[in-house]
Amino acid sequence: MGTFTVVSNDPFEDTLKVALIGATPNAVDGDQDTIPVEYYLASAYPNPFYSKTTLSYGLPSSSHVSLSVYNLSGQAVSVLEEEYLSAGIHRATLNAKNMPSGLYFVRLNADNQTFTRKVMLIR
């Protein structure tokens, strides 16, 4: 029998609201044993970043996911995910080696939910 844990998803804290069902400390991305209670897009880490940053997001149910990066003009500069994914916690890496320094927006669309985070690329 699994366990169930809920932690805060306060936007002013670094914790996320997650239900853990029979999870192990070394759960793998998309692991069916780690199911978030709600959709979320966590802050990028590191941020600001030099060449790469990692984005984590959670899906409480299987969903079509679109995870894209936009510049200040609103133009899509990178598509990180565009596929149907299972419920769980997922990670994507933004490799910005061909992007100029500046402020960018990362947008997650999943199951009629939209989340946006700012990331700062510094060269």
pLDDT of residue 33: 60
How many CB atoms lie under 10 A from the CB of residue 53?
22
DSSP 42: P
Residue entry with tokens 């609201």:
17
Q: β-strand 113-121 against 52-59: which pairing, if any?
A: unpaired
pLDDT at residue 34, rounded to an integer: 81
Residue 76: CB atoms within 10 A of its CB come to: 11
Among 3, 14, 7, 23, smallest CA distance to 42 is for 14
The answer to whether the beta carbons of residues 20 and 58 sit under 8 Å apart is: no
pLDDT tens per residue, range 34-86: 899 999 999 999 999 999 999 999 999 999 999 999 999 999 999 999 999 99
Domain definitions of the chain by residue range = 38-121
Q: What's the predicted TM-score (pTM) here? A: 0.73
C-alpha span between 101 and 80 (Å, rounded):
19
38-121: CATH number: 2.60.40.1930
